[in-house]
Each structure stands twice: as C-alpha cells, then as structure tokens.
Amino acid sequence: MKKPSLREFFNLLEKENKALRIKEEVSVKFEIPFITKKLEPYKAVMFEKVKEAKIPVVAGICGSRERICRALNINEEKLYDKILEALKNPLKTKIVEDGEVKEVKEKPNLKKFPILIHYNCDKYPYVTSAIISAKNPDNEEVENVSIHRLQVLDEKHLAIRIVPRHLYKLCQIAKDKGKNTLDIAISIGNHPAILLAASSPAPFGVSEFDVANRMLNGELKLIECENVNARAPANSEIIFEARILLNKLVEEGPFVDITGTYDAVRLQPLVEVVNVLRRNDCIYQALIPAGFEHKLLMGLAREAKIWEAVRNVVPTVKAVRLTDGGCGWLHVVISLKKQIEGDSKNAILAAFSAHPSVKHVIVVDEDIDVDNLSTVEWALATRFQADEDLIIIKNVRGSSLDPSAEQETGLTCKAGFDATIPLNKPKEKFEKAKIPENQKVKDILSKLNFKI
C-alpha cells in the first residue's frame, strides 16, 4: 500500500478479489446494513450510489481475521504477538502540518453524510466506525483514542455513549478543572490498524495512535485539528471537530450493541460539531452493530490478552476464541495440552481475570478445533461432568452489554467448563472413531464433485 489508509486498503482487497462494489442505488435505512451483514464474513463492500447522499459507503473492511491480518501484513499465527507487541511497545506518532483530510473545510451538516439506520426499532441514525481522540486536560501530551457510538440528533449535534473507561476519566478530569467542555476529534474512514488499536485495552496514558503506529511500522501520521485541541489521522476520510458538552445530557438510544439486542436508553453527554474536515472525494466508513466486524474489532485484542494470561499459567495453550455465538465478547473457548489436573481450571480463572466481561469459559483438549463449535459441544457432551468440572462464581463484575446481568449493579454469575479428558482415564476412551480412507474413495467422491 502507498499509505496506511482506508481507500488504499480497500483497493488492495479489491485487487485480491476480497472486496466488491455495488453500483445499484441503495438506502442508508436498512438496505446497506442488510447487504453488509450478509457479505462481511466473505468480502468488504463499497456502495457507490447512496440514495440519501453523494458520498459512497465502505463497510466490512475488518469483517474477517484474514482481512485484519492482511492489513497488518502478517500471518494469523502472528496476530496475537503483533497486538501484544504494539500494546507493550507503542511507537510515538509523527505530527505533520497537512494531510489529505484537509482538502475540504466546511461548516457542520451531519445530514449530508450517509449515516446508517441499522435495525428495525432504531429511532436515530448512528455513526459506529468513528474513532474519538481527546487530550488529557492535565497533560496534553497524553491522549485517549477509542471507539464510541454516536447518535445523530440534528445537523451539528450528537449523543455519545461513554462507559466508565478512559474517555470517561478525561471528562471527569476536565470537570474537576472547572471546564464545561472537552475537545475531541471524530475521525471516520481509517485503516484497520487504527480501528484495532482504538478498540484495544491500552493502559491509561498510552495513546492508541502510538499503538497503531507500532502496528503500521511507523507509517501513521497525525495532524493537529484547526478548531479544537485534538489530533487525528492525516489521511482519514472525514473529521468532525467537536466538543463534548459535559454538563448537557440527552437520552441516548435505543441502540443494538454487540449482543444483537437493544441496549438500555440512558442519559449521555451531548456533542457539538464545530467544523468538518474531509477529503474532496471522501468515503464514509460504516460498521454494522453486532456484525462480524464489530465482534472482531472488540474481541481480538481481548483474545490476545486472554491468550497471554492463560499462557502464563498453562504454557501449553494452543488457541483462544471469543466465539461468534457468545457475541465475540461473553464466551471464550480455550484449547490446551493438559499436563496435570488443575491446568484447565487455572486457565479458566486466568481468562476471567484477563477479560472481566467474559461470562462463560470452556476449556478443551488440543484435538478440539476452537473454530468448530460442534466439536466443542461434543467435548462438553463426552468429557465434562458438572459435579467435578464446573466452576461457578457468583456476584462478580460482568458486562453491561449482557441483558441477563443485573443492569444496575453490573453483577453477574460466571461459569467455567473443564471439558478436557481426565488424566486418570485411558485417553482412547475419549477419542472420536475414524473410518480409514484411501485414494480409491477419494477418487470416487471426486467424480461426484464432493470434497473430503
């Protein structure tokens, strides 16, 4: 790629037959979300003709592990190492005077952008792929970069959902200093590495831009915004220069989050957009809530942290997956080579510690494919006894996204399932029987166009 940008990466995917263009006119209301959700596990997509706007829409850029690895120019077996290395050794990002995103400067009018309405009970369009960057009011060299959903209210106002993490902390610092606003840059249309870094659990005080810069081998460049005190990627497609109005709250929601269910409606801060920077031929980037892209971006860095934590207590860990059925967030399957009894339960506890939102952990032997949930269920059916192999932890912090948890307190009940073969029993009793194969049967099936 010439530069680590959304459009350059889409062009690369297109050349490799991993992206496609849709030329028919489609609407931001349901039509683009529906098509994207069907296509994103297989290909990224660009909608060239949008009914409500003159700006094309790209979606599904991070809709598969393969695409994310391609963006980072690595093989999948190196993915966790790449993420962990970037988190532990961020690389300071260079500030430049100018960038492609400064080609057009204009007054805010959010309604000119193709912002999607995703699901049947949605009442508002939502910006879902934007990264929010803000400087620490106590130390402007420190910043936070994170992804937050943004509810469009009118031409220049949004509601932002802020959970009690790093951006929330910056808002509190600003309030403590007597400020009524916090400057932010809302950047839309970015390279996958920036989205992945912004979704990662970097420590407070570490800029996720620097995490992304390490992933991109020093190729990321930032600009200082012109009307607010914030930084943004120089080759983003669109930047909304904005301020969070700390003392003004509005109802935010309903919104479908990663579980595929509607999150609660809450009072959240109001955001005022004061200026727009964009490329002349800008592309709007969409992300479908509860889609594959959403789950992968939220979950991959947590998978890496779980893998690292489990490896510290059970070095023979083979694979970790936050499952699709577990919303890419609440369920994790871990495969390992058990050396002594108790390894599996230590792995379960390590996983809960590494990712506090995890609700259920299943540990299986190394012969079980963590990407094949039918074999995981088979391991539960044949290698698990609840009175010996189940761990239950009551009244602990869980995920606010889980509709079955206690929403007011955030408490939940967690369970760990040790679905590994007991070491005191013959291993062959637990192995799946196989029918021998030979070239003759392969040839017969090949003539029937049946692959084995």
The phi, psi pair for 255, rounded to 5°, reads: -145, 135
Q: Amino acid identity of 132?
A: I
Active site residue 210: no
Q: How far is CA 403 from the centre of its chain?
A: 20
User: Residue 102 corresponds to which tokens in the numbers above?
Assistant: 């400064």
With CA atoms as reference, report the closest residue to 401 among 313, 308, 331. Answer: 331
CA atoms of 233 and 308, how far apart (whole Å): 30
Q: Amino acid identity of 248?
A: K
CA atoms of 14 and 8, how far apart (whole Å): 10
Identify the active-site residue in 122, 183, 210, 257: 257
With CA atoms as reference, report the closest residue to 29 among 188, 152, 161. Answer: 152
> What is the chain's alpha carbon radius of gyration, rounded to the nearest angstrom?
23
With tokens 């939502």, the residue in question is 126
Tell me the three-class secondary structure of 148-202, residue by residue.
Answer: CCEEECCCCEEEECCCCCHHHHHHHHHHHCCCCEEEEEEEECCCHHHHHHHCCCC
User: Residue 316 corresponds to which tokens in the numbers above?
Assistant: 């023979």
CB 246 within 8 A of CB 175: yes
Enzyme catalytic residues: 257
